[in-house]
Structure 1
Amino acid sequence: MEKSLINASLSTENLTFRRGSSPVAFEVTVNNNSDQFANFQLEVSAPGENQSSGYSWYKLTPEVAAAQPHGSSTRFQVLILNTPIPGFVGIVNLTVKIFSPQLRQQRRLLLRLTIEPDGGQTLLSVELPVRDFQVYPRNSVDIPARVRNLGQQPVNAVLRFTNIDPLWLVGGAERRLLIDPGSSAEVRFECQPPSVVQAPSQNYPFAIEATGHNSIPARGEGNLEVLPIGFVEFHTTPKQQKIPFKNRWLPDWKSHSATFELEFKNASNLKQQVNVQMQGKDWRKCTFAINPQDANLNIGGTTKVFLDVKTKRPWVGLSKTLLLEARTELFDQRLGTTDPATQILELKVLPIIPLWLQLAILALLAALLARLLTPAPVSHTNFVQSVRISGDVLSVVSGSDDCTLRRWRINTNFLTSNLEPEGVYSKSPDACAKRQQSKGLLAITTLPVQALRLMPENNNRVAAGLDNGIIQIWDIPKGEKIQELKDKQDLTGDKVFDLVYAPGSRYLFSGHGSGKVRLWSAPPNSDFQADPQQVIDLQFKQKLQRFPIKALSLSPNGKTLVIAGEFKRFVLWNWKQPQGFLFGQQTLEGSAGLDDFVFGLAFAPSKDKEILATSDSDGYITIWDLKQCKASKNSNPQEVTQLNCPTVDRWQAGRGAVRSVAFSEDGMLVSGGDDRKVMLWFLTPEYKLDKAKAAEGRKIYETSKPIMSVDVKKTEGKTFIVSGGEDFQVKLNRF
């Protein structure tokens, strides 16, 4: 038993107070039995006392005593100034509470106070026909009272309903009425407890007091019981947990438990205590810790119970789900159980070794086995710089930095399309110091291939531009090199970046890193002449400063050659005009520095129009109407004039440089670049981006490395898109 640190005594245990007379007093002596300094405070209370603001029925001296050491005594005087219960006559028990903030203990003493009337006459009486009432919160009950005048004169009586919050009384807690001599009157007080939270279920004693002139107050007493109502809500969010709580990339053998939060909300007018018990299908496979075991719920309050569940985890295998059931019991069962009474909980238990790691180990074993049993897929061994689809849409030719040309057969059915290596190279398949697969190998070029063009009329020949400025012409069906073109005046190895045939295949244009455009010609039914027919030096002769050429494109009517390069410019050359005549240059929007290029060129398939698509290092695609270009006045036809060509449309096509663009026969545009995506863009008949079909374009293919080249062909209602890039792969997609 805890030692009592406070000892107190009263000067008297019985005291009489007469209403309207002088105050009476008693003393309280308090002893400090602790081993420390402490001060003491007193409070006096009476059942049913008037607690309204400003009503003071006793005075305390001193109000707060000074701190005293061990063994000392403190004396308080309590002066009774008025009755604690207005109008009450009789005996009431006063409670004297002594407490100390330092000792954190309290002591209670009882004093019997007799309240005598002030000598007036009893002229009124109060009767309650019914003394006990029951009501639910928000409902109302009528409480009748009968008042009788026992005197010989009329009395203006005032009836007051006491001991219950006046806000509960509809129409107020006071009634006034005139009662004739020897007569009685009946009044009703309508009592309506407020909401569930504000009206706890318990008994509420009350009194109806009648007062009149020169009459001792009369009272009648009754009891109001607020009935229990409401429910306790039971929630668990989420109802699913897993072990371990977070996804782990590496094995986690330390996690063996999970915690559920069980939330209870008391929406009743009863204080409750909740107990949680576990059951369910898999409860025997687990151990449980419930904190707190018995949760207290105040009226209108919310509390949480934490359910910790532990179980064993396997090292390998699939995850398993344990089904558990949390069942609740309420201490006060007058309202039944919680709502709902149970909650189904799911605990997902993952193996210690993550499933991905198990699958990765199995996949690694399968991959090692597959590598031992199956040959490696055919592909290039370095960056793929150029891809071309044949005019009959039966095959694809690709060129790569691995110093090879490869040919692929388009194998298609109703559902899928793919590329298969075509033919077997008969010679030693070594190129660029690497071993090459002979299947599908068209040619070994000794140097990296930068550009490819198929002969337009029949696709049995392909021109390949190499790093050292040489152009090789290959016979595709035979896999033989027919011719090798090299400008004798080129002593530096002027890298070929792009090639383009003129209609009829008698002219071939080559664009070089030095800024030169070379025109190669061939007599009818003969090979190309050894020397170029014409050389245009855009870098020096045409005063363009630096202009390494990145792309070439010829208009559908075969008259205008577009030459693209550095500083985000392109040049138009009407090559069928007198020799050397240059039409002019156009600069794209945005920055135009040393590292800014036009990488891709493509003409729309319309001989009536000259619609050009350009792609640049900023990731934009621009559509131009070249027939609307206007040139500045320039009297010297040997110099490049500045052009003002209107743009039809312009949009951001990629996050990085767009390296290649190509038009399909029906006017759709395909692009590929550094964002590693092959995109298809729908255009309107006016060659503007058709945002109604796909405002952001349609992604056809995405890989892990930048795309360097794309091509597109349409046949029999099917659109075939081929791409190549830095992942060494040549990919075919059908739209």
Structure 2
Amino acid sequence: MEKSLINASISPQSQTFRPSSTSSFHITVDNDSEQFASFQLEVLAAGASPSSGHLWYRLSPEVSAAKPPGSSTDFQIIIFNSPLPGFVGTVNLTVRIFSPQLRQERRLIVRLNIQSDNRPQLVAVDLLARQIQVYPRNTVDIPLRVRNLSPQPVDVAVGLSGIEPSWLSEGAERRLFLAANAQGEASFQCQPPSVTQAPSQEYQFTIEAMSRDGYPSTTQGSLEVLPVGFVEFTAIPHQQTIPYKNRWLPNWRSNSASFQLIFKNASNLQQQLNVILQGKDQRQLTPRISPENADLSLGETTKIILEVKTKRFWVGWSKILQFDIRALLSDDRLGSTEPTTQALELRILPVLPVWLQLTLLAILAGLFALLLKPEAIAHTKYVNAVRFSANALSAVSGSDDSTIRLWRINKNKLEAEDNNEPDKLKGVLGDTNKQAVFALRFDPLENNRVAAGLENGVIQLWNVARRSKEYELSFPEIVNKTDKVFDLVFTKNSQYLISGHGSGNVLIWERKSPLEQFQPQPQKVISLGYQSRSMALSPDEQTLAIAGNNKYLTLLNLNQPNNPKRRFSVTSPGVGHGNGDYIWSLAFVPQTPGLLATADSDGYITILDLQCEISQAPTETEQQINQNCVRDRWQVGKQGVRSIAFTQDGRQLVSTGDEGRVVAWSLTSVGKREVAALNGREIYKSPDNLKLNSIDINNQGTAIVTGGEDCQVNHQGIKHCQVNLIRLNK
């Protein structure tokens, strides 16, 4: 016999109902299961048709929230109309209690004694819409119609109950004067308050029309406040160390560290939180979460303490465990938290400090040098692209050697990230199967995902935490096997990925949410007629700038239908712009609207004001740049500038290129060079002036990562091409 998981009681067992009044029953439902469960009620009257549409009772609450095992839920059944119109006497009511989660039901029987009421019914009221939806702070009308059923004029009072009176901007009562056998319409204007004061649920309301001497007429409807908002997720700190103190002395007792997980409910959904660990190293950790299930009320901030324990080693170097924290919400109608996960790091120090191990390590290092085969700790061919992660704790690089490498930032140097996989070289995030890597971009919302543009026109998406390729994007109808992906750009919400190709095509890829994959077909294909070498998205994401050979610059409007575009040739009189001349790099000034910097193959950097009348009279193929829109223009050297980047405040521009120099330029608030520093400040120079192809600046504006043809050949004849970390303000 199946065990009963629902226990319920009702009081009283019988009740008297007189029309024009109300009667009620109270029900207590117990969750005798071993899981969270919600409950619903339904009342059936003997002799009444369930599909007649006649409303005669209401429930409070209509549906209970999911509650834990052993808890109780109280319901109230309010009888406001006769279940059998015109019937006088006793009728049996069946109360059906059921749970979607438990898939069981319970039935209770009560008696309702219906008495007569001799007053006539002079009016009838109907709702023109029984189910109404509205967002917080929005206004909606509840329309109704009142009919005079008598041969005499009547003065009718119409009232609304069941909705908070403060939500009704013009009050909860209306008065209508109706002629004999006439009808009239009225409405109640409803405006729920702010997100934190208007929980998302269905609010049952009753409209009652009352004449002076007649029987009242009632009807019911529902107002659904729709869900809106988000749950903000923050972790403090993002890095912890074990032990957190006395690191210079042996400490074998400390094996745990704590993180604060802070959640702010900026939605109108009551939530319960459940936190889980995921990621590459989560199996090496034993978590303790307090509290395990946290309630998150509207407008409130809740703190959860995550304590992680791990096994420490006696000797060796420090070890960094990377893992993600993901919060599961009980109500996912608005998706997940923002962001969905938090990337955390736990640095584990050995029990014996390093200074006690130096002698032994020196001996072991000599033995390992003889026994172990050396592995490459750098690219073996030219580096084409470098990028910092959003938290500036790591960087990635792509090369002609068909690999993507992952680097950990350790103070003032880059270290190859250990992937703990014997079949992969140290620091290699992924192998692209003999395809050179020309472009890299971190997903702005999923900082553990990197998009890589390859020489065969394919885009690969790599998971940094798992060191694995997730999927590929390609469009063979337009892109052929020799079509290089020269640049990639994500939108801030990560919904769109834009790729620029050597064929002159720009592809826009779309996905519905950051948790899903991009669609296999591009959402739009835009043909430019020249190589798309570099792209930049304006801070307001309205303009996409695309540049390439012939020193062409195209401004693409992303917010207008068909994405209208304008093409210019960015050059000065007397400077060539043929097929062999290029704009190598583009960058918008972050804090100054409308300023765009370009870097070209003649060694010039140009800062353009896109808000002025930038175009002059067009030639046969493009418009000429209005020289009055050039804020500043200078020549860095006699050879090309390959890459430029701005600090977040827009006050410094860093450039590099064919001369192998990294130069920092101080700018004014209007995008011009500081008068006292017109020649810039050289902060790095590669050995033998070897070419540098790519540069990136971290979000703090303190460090630069570069890559290019800065290569050396070791004693075994293997070429090592370096990725350099440079301090900007050293």
TM-score range, shorter chain: 0.3 to 0.5
- From the CA coordinates, give the structure whose radius of gyration is larger: 1
Q: Give the TM-score, by structure 1 length.
A: 0.45
Q: Give the TM-score, by structure 2 length.
A: 0.45
